[in-house]
Amino acid sequence: MDATATIYRYYEHRLARSLPRDGLPHHIGVILDGHRRFARTEGHADYRQSYRIGMAKLEEFLGWSAELGIGALTAWVLSTENLRRPREELDPYFSVLMELFERLPKLARSVGFSLSVSGSLDLLPAELARAAKEAAEDTEPVPGRMHVNIALCYGGRQEIVDACRALVADLLATGCAPDRLVETIDAEGISDHLYAAELPDTDLVIRTSGESRLSGFLLWQSAYAECVFVDPYWPAFRRIDLLRALRDYARRERRFGA
């Protein structure tokens, strides 16, 4: 290991030790952005290699987060808008995602986390939707350990629409009169019908690739989330980038609108 690498590792170690354990976020949302730009920057012939590097990075990220004691993590791997991309871009990504879901149960057992998948899975190729559901079903809950939610074919507006529909359906099923629906629907009811309702609201959202917007990610849950936008493309994201994001989060005063 050369001198630069040694100094870098020492800095990373000091940064990790300096993080206040009681000041870390309970729920991190991460937007995995920049695969295609990374591929072009690195001169890859197609996007498949970039996608594979990105999914391997996600597996690393899950390990880093578990080591730090993060309680919940939502990773946005595919949006509903992404489905508009050409088939020559989507098909390789779909196959790489299937490879990821084949590996996740083993990783969950090794690292120690629970797994769920949320989104409009019915819009996906049947084999990918099936692989995602089977991965979640094959992952045993781990009380007291991190819960990982994979946002797959996810859109924040659609989640809120679906939550409202499910809430109305439940209210009608329990005998609520149609003319009382308006006064019965409330924020708590909508929260209880979100895709991953068991998770707390998001405390921190990290987006890679230098983009400074949420693009509809966890719109309801991120109402008071702190946001950190970092320059590296997702496949080039490093542990030190996560540590710096956590340091920035810990330094902020959260007021929740007060």
In this predicted model, what pLDDT tens digit does every residue of 152-211 receive, in sequence order? Answer: 999 999 999 999 999 999 999 999 999 999 999 999 999 999 999 999 999 999 999 999
The CATH number given to whatever domain includes residue 58 is 3.40.1180.10
Residue 112 binned pLDDT confidence (cut-offs 50, 70, 90): very high
Please name which of 87, 84, 72 lies closest in space to residue 28, comparing C-alpha atoms.
72
Cα-flanking dihedrals φ and ψ of residue 75, to 5°?
Answer: -110, 120
Q: Are 46 and 92 in contact (CB under 8 A)?
A: yes
Residue 221 lies in a domain: yes
Separation of alpha carbons 123 and 67, rounded Å: 34
Burial class for 89, CB neighbours closer than 10 Å (0-12, 13-18, 19+): middle
Is 64 within the bounds of a domain? yes
Q: What share of the chain is helix, strand, coil (3-state, %, to 5)?
A: 55, 15, 35
DSSP string over 211-238: ----TTTTTTTTTT-EEEE-SS-GGG--
Query: Please, are residues 156 and 216 in contact by the beta-carbon 8 Å criterion?
Result: yes
| Angle between the N-to-C axes of helices 87-111 and 126-137, in degrees from 0 to 180, rounded to the nearest 10 | 10
Which of 65, 20, 14 minimizes the C-alpha distance to 248? 20
In angstroms, the first-to-last Cα distance of the chain is 49
User: What is the pLDDT averaged over residues 229-237?
Assistant: 97
pLDDT over 80 at 2, yes or no? no
Q: Which helix (DSSP H) or strand (DSSP E) does residue 112 occupy?
A: none
The answer, yes or no, to whether residue 231 has pLDDT greater than 90, is yes
Does the pLDDT at position 141 exceed 70?
Answer: yes
The number of beta carbons lying within 10 Å of the beta carbon of residue 24 is: 18
Query: Is 256 part of a structural domain of the chain?
Result: no
Q: From CA 100, how far away is CA 32, in angstroms rounded?
A: 14
The active-site residue, picked from 46, 82, 138, 241, is 82
Q: Is position 173 within any domain?
A: no
Mean predicted lDDT score pLDDT of the chain:
94
Taking phi over 0 as left and psi of -120 to 50 as alpha, with beta for the rest, 144 belongs to left
Look at residue 180 and tell me if it is in a domain. no
Q: Using the Cα atoms of residue 194, residue 197, residue 202 and residue 205 in order, give the sign of their dihedral.
A: negative
pLDDT recorded at residue 90: 95
Q: With respect to residue 19, please indicate whether it lies within any of the assigned structural domains.
A: no
Q: Is the pLDDT of residue 1 over 80?
A: no
Q: Are 45 and 90 in contact (CB under 8 A)?
A: no
User: What pLDDT is stored for residue 258 in this prediction?
Assistant: 62
pLDDT cut 70: percent of the chain above it = 99
Residue 144 pLDDT: 86
Q: What is the pLDDT averaged over residues 26-49?
A: 95
> Would you say residue 185 lies in a domain?
no
* Helix-then-strand count for the chain, H and E: 9, 6
Mean pLDDT over 25-35 rounds to 97
DSSP-derived pairing of the beta strands 204-207 and 226-229:
parallel
Catalytic annotation, pick one of 2, 33, 192, 241: 33
- What tokens does 17 get? 């030790």
Tell me: pLDDT of 4 over 90.
no
- What total of structural domains would you count in the chain? 1
Percentage, residues of the chain above pLDDT 90: 86
Q: Which domain holds residue 60?
A: 24-155+203-251
- pTM, two decimals, is 0.94
Sheet of 27-31, strand order: 113-118, 146-154, 72-79, 27-31, 204-207, 226-229
83-87, 117-121, 143-147: the lowest-pLDDT one: 143-147
CA atoms within 13 A on the CB side of 31: 30
Q: Is 149 a catalytic residue?
A: no
Does residue 79 fall inside a structural domain? yes
